[in-house]
């Protein structure tokens, strides 16, 4: 779909300026340090453009790469290489940006028994790739969609008439293998969530003092997740409260793509 969006009826620039028989190779290389993600996705882009291209992967998803390092070499039709260039780089840059940001957050709290997870705040239709990038960066995935876990948020609580009503109603209708998570905003709701016997309690946009009080009150009766307003400046303080998981929408919705480029060479070169 991405290739159809970009190429549609043909790469006019390449078709009109490059002889059909022209061969060469291109090197995709890093213009910044980071954690690479999307190598296999970029490879698939070039395969779909031209199955005759020779593709050599010089890095593995989830590994640290340095500025100037080559990560993919493509040999074959120059037209085909340029046709696939932008789509491949778009996937590679965005996924690597996510992986790099995730790695930073994971590293900051590596001394705490706490796990960094993502959210559903992903680019439409790219969730599976963006969640892969989170894993490549050392984080874990929260639920993939609305279908794989019960997550009772503020509007569900309002519509159901309270936390207890919502949890009891859900428990009656789901298999015993499915977990129920409840989002809470204050200590009164924490008490209600504990009483409901839900599996996970999410502390939403609480300050650190309230989080500490909530974790102490929950005391292992449920898994505790912190969410809302988490960034590199406060994630350590949040991890120190004793929560089990920290979820960050910013891993996918407010990401800076990693700088990656492609250069063509008339003759095959190895970097």
- Which residues are known catalytic residues? 86, 121, 153, 183, 204
Q: How far is CA 174 from CA 63, 170, 179, in A?
A: 39, 6, 9
Cα–Cα dist 18/46, whole Å: 18
List, in order, residues 6 or more apart from 178 with CB less than 8 Å away: 148, 149, 150
Sequence-distant (≥ 6) Cβ neighbours of residue 186 within 8 angstroms: 206, 210
The helices-and-strands tally (H runs, E runs) of the chain is 11, 12
Residues contacting residue 76 through CB under 8 Å, at least 6 positions apart: 23, 25, 50, 52, 53, 54
Compute the distance between CA of residue 245 and CA of residue 223 in angstroms, rounded to an integer: 8
What residues does 76 pair with on adjacent strands? 24
**At CA 130, angle to CA 25 and CA 264, rounded to 5?**
10
Residue entry with tokens 């063509």:
264
């Amino acid at each position: 779909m991405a290739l159809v969006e970009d190429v549609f009826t043909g790469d006019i620039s390449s078709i009109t300026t490059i002889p059909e028989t022209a061969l060469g190779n291109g090197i995709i290389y890093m213009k910044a340090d980071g954690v690479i993600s999307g190598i296999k996705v970029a490879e698939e882009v070039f395969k779909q453009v031209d199955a005759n291209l020779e593709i050599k992967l010089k890095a593995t998803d989830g590994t640290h790469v340095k500025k100037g390092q080559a990560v993919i070499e493509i040999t074959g039709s120059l037209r085909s290489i340029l046709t696939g260039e932008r789509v491949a780089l778009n996937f590679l840059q965005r996924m690597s940006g996510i992986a790099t940001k995730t790695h930073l957050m994971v590293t900051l709290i590596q001394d705490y028994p706490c796990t960094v997870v993502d959210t559903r705040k992903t680019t439409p239709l790219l969730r599976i790739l963006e969640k892969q990038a989170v894993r490549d960066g050392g984080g874990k995935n929260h639920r993939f969609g609305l279908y794989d876990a019960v997550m009772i948020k503020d509007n569900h609580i309002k519509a159901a008439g309270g936390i207890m009503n919502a949890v009891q109603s859900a428990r009656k209708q789901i298999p015993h293998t499915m977990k129920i998570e409840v989002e809470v905003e204050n200590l009164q709701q924490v008490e209600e969530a504990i009483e409901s016997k839900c599996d996970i309690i999410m502390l939403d946009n609480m300050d650190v003092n309230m989080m500490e009080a909530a974790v102490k009150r929950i005391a292992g009766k449920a898994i505790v997740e912190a969410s809302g307003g988490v960034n590199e400046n406060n994630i350590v303080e949040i991890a120190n409260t004793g929560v089990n998981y920290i979820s960050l929408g910013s891993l996918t919705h407010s990401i800076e793509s990693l700088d990656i480029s492609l250069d063509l060479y008339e003759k095959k070169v190895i970097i």
